[in-house]
Amino acid sequence: MNVHDWALIAFTILVQMSIGSLWVLLLAHLFAARKYSVEAADRLSDRALYALIPVIALGFLASLLHLGNPFSAYRAVTNLGTSWLSREILFGVIFAILATVYAFMQWRKIGSVGLRNIIGWLAAIDGLVMVYCMSNVYMLASQPAWNTWATPISFYAATFLLGALAMGAAFVANYTYLQRKEPGCADEQCTLMRETLRWVALAAVILLGVELVVLPIYLVALASGSATGLASVKLMAGSFGWMLALRVLLAFLGAGVFGLFLYQNAMSAGKEKMVGSMAYLAFIVVLAAEVLGRVLFYVSHVRIGI
Amino acid sequence: MDKQLGFYVDIASCTGCKACQVACKDKNNLPVGIRWRKVFQYEGGEWIRQQDGQMIPSSVYAYSVSSACAHCENPVCAQVCPTAAISKRADGIVLIDAEKCIGCRYCSWACPYGAPQFDEDAGVMTKCNMCYDLVDKGENPACVEACPYRAMDFGPISELRQKYGDFADPAPLPDPSITKPSVIYNPNRVTKSSKQADGHMVNLEEL
């Protein structure tokens, strides 16, 4: 592992998490606006939205660290015709700009609610295109461990899993903040937090299921596909076997065990404190699992040839 | 388009002396750690243990493969490069423009020949440029000229193929269908193709 790999791990995880977060945030906002009011929805999601912008910025800063010549990074969008990397950066930059504009408009309440929502959803949809491009960056003919359908599936799964749990934690933090500022004010917000947490937990459990189904199929297909693929599997199961095991264990604990607990207890009155702690814990544990999974992704690829 | 230029390497004559590798390093003044041309020593096969404990070689083999950028017909490095820093000249020579390269190293993930290599000090990728300065003067690349066994040849790949055949994938080189390399080899009697590869590289620490 060197600094370049860490830069890419940070970049892909942070940006995917931001894209997933924006989706969950917009869905929660939509749900809250329908159920109560746009004001209530803004109170639920605005602070989380402001927190998202530095995360996106950090992700892109990290991406610069893997360049030999970071000051010329702007040139990375000059081969859109054939390079998926160019396309990834283009859609990534558009995502960052739209998300920032959306956050700024929400902050200053510029423009109509409809216009703001359109900007937000455009950012979210652009984000999904970016994850698609990002998957294609790795699907190279000479990289059997990456050149499979498992790459886009696991990227999208990471996007929504991290996004869901990050927003779960953010909504808990937001509610805690609101309560401290004006105790007793937040009945409406309390219900919103509970219901969104329930959905977040359900999404986490389903996405964990996807990851757990994809992983063994991927490993078997890779091992039986080519000698180079087998070499990758031997790395993942051999010298990095502990990492793979820990990654699965943490994902199971965070999204499965804690997720199920959240799903069952989110609505129970009087358990807000415990549910909140569990939401934080689930996010941290799943973030660790996904980072380990991404480390594994970068250390276990074996290129065909010499 | 002019005729695609290419290399020919005669594995049957090559002794693995690495004069080509050193001549390349010298001519191009390459920094420590960067070798545009590399000689891969490949070995495999088995010994048979007899009842008295003696070992008899049965299928043991060894040979060397000199390889650099293959100046491919399908240069995946150029396709994936986000800054379009890699281009193919009219004569097929694939070049990296150091002014455009941002050092993202993506080409080194895509190229199955390990041709693009990162220059830490310059912050950009570098690779074999087929000594285009010499080629433009009508001379041969330094590696070809340096071979003491006259095991290398250079010229339009179509002519080389006519003269020497079109075997392009001695193990450990990859399946040529990925990039369609402009390099051909003359196998010796033990040379395995990429599909028959059952040996291993023995000089990994110097590659």
In the numeric block, which tokens belong to residue B2?
A: 């002019």
Chain B residues close to A230, C-beta within 8 Å: none
**Predicted local distance difference test score (pLDDT) of residue A179:** 87
Asked if B171 has any chain A CB less than 8 Å from its own CB, the reply is no
SS (H, E, C) B164-175: HCCCCCECCCCC
Task: Check CB contact under 8 Å for A86 and B174.
Answer: no
In the numeric block, which tokens belong to residue B169?
A: 């994938």
Q: Which residue of A has its CA nearest to B66?
A: A306
How far apart CA A163 and CA B166 sit, in angstroms, is 53
Mean pLDDT for the stretch of residues B157-174: 96
CA distances from A123 to A84, A96, A117 (A): 19, 8, 10
Task: Check CB contact under 8 Å for B83 and A89.
Answer: no
| pLDDT tens by residue, chain A, 306 residues | 566 789 999 999 999 999 999 999 999 999 999 999 999 999 999 999 999 999 999 999 999 999 999 999 999 999 999 999 999 999 999 999 999 999 999 999 999 999 999 999 999 999 999 999 999 999 999 999 999 999 999 999 999 999 999 999 999 999 999 988 877 656 888 899 999 999 999 999 999 999 999 999 999 999 999 999 999 999 999 999 999 999 999 999 999 999 999 999 988 888 888 999 999 999 999 999 999 999 999 999 999 998
Q: How far is B162 from chain A (nearest CA, A)?
A: 26
Asked if A305 has any chain B CB less than 8 Å from its own CB, the reply is yes
CB A139 within 8 A of CB A146: yes
Q: Which residue of A has its CA nearest to B115?
A: A306
Q: Which residue of A has its CA nearest to B75?
A: A82
Chain B residues close to A82, C-beta within 8 Å: 78-80
In the numeric block, which tokens belong to residue B203?
A: 């000089």
How far apart CA A116 and CA B95 sit, in angstroms, is 47
| Three-state DSSP state, B62 | strand
How far apart CA B176 and CA A304 sit, in angstroms, is 11
Task: Check CB contact under 8 Å for A75 and B83.
Answer: yes
Helices (H), chain A: 3-35, 38-64, 84-108, 113-138, 150-181, 187-225, 227-237, 241-251, 259-265, 272-299
**Predicted local distance difference test score (pLDDT) of residue A186:** 61
Q: What is the tens place of the pLDDT at every residue in B147-163?
A: 999 999 999 999 999 99
Asked if A66 has any chain B CB less than 8 Å from its own CB, the reply is yes
**Predicted local distance difference test score (pLDDT) of residue A206:** 98
Task: Check CB contact under 8 Å for A306 and B114.
Answer: yes
Asked if A72 has any chain B CB less than 8 Å from its own CB, the reply is yes
| Three-state DSSP state, B47 | strand
**Predicted local distance difference test score (pLDDT) of residue B11:** 98
In the numeric block, which tokens belong to residue B31?
A: 């920094």
Asked if B38 has any chain A CB less than 8 Å from its own CB, the reply is yes
Nearest to B109 among A67, A82, A140 (CB): A140
Question: Which residues, numbered 201 to 230 in chain A, qualify as contacts with chain B under a Cβ-Cβ cut-off of 8 Å?
Answer: 227
pLDDT over 90 at B2, yes or no: no
Question: Which residues, numbered 132 to 191 in chain A, qualify as contacts with chain B under a Cβ-Cβ cut-off of 8 Å?
Answer: 137, 140-143
| Three-state DSSP state, B95 | strand
Q: What is the tens place of the pLDDT at every residue in B41-90?
A: 999 999 888 888 888 888 999 999 999 999 999 999 999 999 999 999 99
